[in-house]
Amino acid sequence: MNTYFALFLIATFSSLILTPLVRRLCERFKLLDLPIAGRKTHSRAVPRLGGVALYLSCLIALSTLPMVDNLLTQSLRQFTPQIFVGLIPATLVLLLGIYDDLRGTNAGVKFATLGLIAVLFYALGGRIEALSVPFVGSVELPSTLSFLITVLWLVGIANAFNLIDGMDGLAAGAALFSSLVILVVSFSREAPLMIVVAIVLCGALAGFLRYNFNPASIFLGDSGALFVGFTLAALSVLGTQKATTAVAVGIPALAFGLPVVDTAVTMTRRLVSGKPLFEGDNEHIHHMLLARGWSQRQVALVLYAVCATFGLLAMLFTQTGARSTGFVLFVVVVVVIIAVGNLRYHEVDELKAGVKRTVGDRRIRVANNIRVRRASRALAKAADLRELFDAVSYLLESGEFAYACMQIGHPAGGEVNERAVSASEKQRAQRGLELRNGRIFWSWSRTPIVAEDVVDSGSFWCLRLPLATANGQWGWMNLYRAFESDPLLVDMNYLSELFRGQLAEAGERILNSFVAESMDTSELTMTVGAGKSIG
């Protein structure tokens, strides 16, 4: 135990000493993260090669082991090959991150290189060969599937820590909690190599956080975030290679809880919104909390608490069975979904609305669409204005619109329109029907509404349907709806194409019938007049 304590102190003090040195070198050679992009949360240039200080601190602590001869160091000698299985790929990941910090590289090159390094890790013997799935049991993986899962796990976790490295102290703090989980689990399973690496990583991260917590004087950078993420992922693989219980799934998933959740949310919402998967944005979980007006310190502390909760659950899995693990994972997923749903993501809100439209509003929408179709069929059979307005009223009674008005008339003039209105009034008084400047005007409202209060209030939006056919313009119809109303539950294509087309054709047909009647009456008058003249 004294050796473990000494390793932690060496790593911590090495980090406390090396981090300021690396920071000064970055400032001297202008290796700074400039606050020029919209995603940045800092307001001044900050050194960003903190990963170098972390790596050197871990290396210094581990290099002291050969100088000590005790039961721990003797037991570690048999694990020497495993040390290089993790150390060589982790070093390559650090170099990749340094190159990205200094020169910059696109996401494709970064992922491809990480994939190749993960392949090297697999070739050196680090691999996920079996999984214990809750409610199913231990599942031996075929070599191809083992290769794919191992590579995806390493690349995914490394990138997950890189994604949350967007705020002072967040990625380093999350990595510290993950390291503590691996440390505790390693103690419970008596895995000395895992204990040594995890405790060294804890010390290095603890010392680094002294300078990385808000206001940060140095950042992890891609070098630090990728190195820490890859190292932790590699540790989880090496530490569970012999595991045949549910901890082989539950502990790694929860140990990296916050980075995994943030990455899953990020990828999902980018897929939903049609954005490129690897294009950066400012809508990560920490960004959404900052947008609520929280300070960086408040956000960091809250997310540290989230990491601690995930960590406690992961450590509890060492004492639970497969069924308990499955149930707890299910509960965690539900809680995460509810929590993410309260972060005001546009994609989440739209998915909720989509579910509501599909499940809750589907019946009403179908009923309204059927009403549009029936109204359109009634218009196709309408022989006069009364039947035309009855069909329109039937549609409006669905309750989707608060007010409607229509102006329609024949291009030939007011006489034809007067005949049409007179014929309608003889059959039955039509509410809201009148002549205005020789044109037929009709209005409808769901409740007693003054037209001016709707048209000029600014509280309603209007859908205007021009009533036109191949033979000309016959008028228009306006449909009004309050801005604060619930979503419109009717297919707009039905309204704008099917209903509008049938309404225009019905108006043309009805009005043209009165033109023919006027012509017959005129011919009869001329004939009578001619007869009297002859007589």
Tell me the per-residue pLDDT of 440-455, one tens digit each, with 9 for 90 and over: 999 998 877 778 788 8
- CA-nearest of 437, 431, 425, 491 to 463 is 491
Q: Decide if pLDDT at 259 tops 70.
A: yes
Q: Residue 81, preceding bond cis, omega within 30 degrees?
A: no
| 67-97 residue pLDDT tens | 988 888 888 888 888 889 999 999 999 999 9
Mean pLDDT score of the chain, rounded to an integer? 86
| 289-317 residue pLDDT tens | 998 899 999 999 999 999 999 998 888 77
Lowest mean pLDDT among 4-13, 148-157, 262-271: 262-271
Pairwise pLDDT comparison (96 vs 358), residue with the higher score? 96
Is 191 within 8 Å of 240 (Cβ atoms)?
A: no
Report the pLDDT averaged over residues 97-105: 92
Exposed e or buried b for every residue in 387-407, given b needs 16+ CB within 10 A?
bbbbbbbebbebebbbbbbbb
pLDDT-based confidence at residue 516 (cuts at 50, 70, 90): low
Structure tokens belonging to residue 246? 């549910």
Q: Decide if pLDDT at 508 tops 60.
A: yes
Enumerate domains of the chain plus CATH numbers: 2-355 (no CATH), 384-527 (3.30.450)
Packing angle between helix 385-396 and helix 414-427, nearest 10 degrees?
70
Non-local (6+) Cβ contacts of 196 within 8 A are 4, 7, 62, 65, 72, 76
What percent of the chain is predicted at pLDDT more than 70?
A: 88
**pLDDT at res. 240:** 66
What's the pTM?
0.74
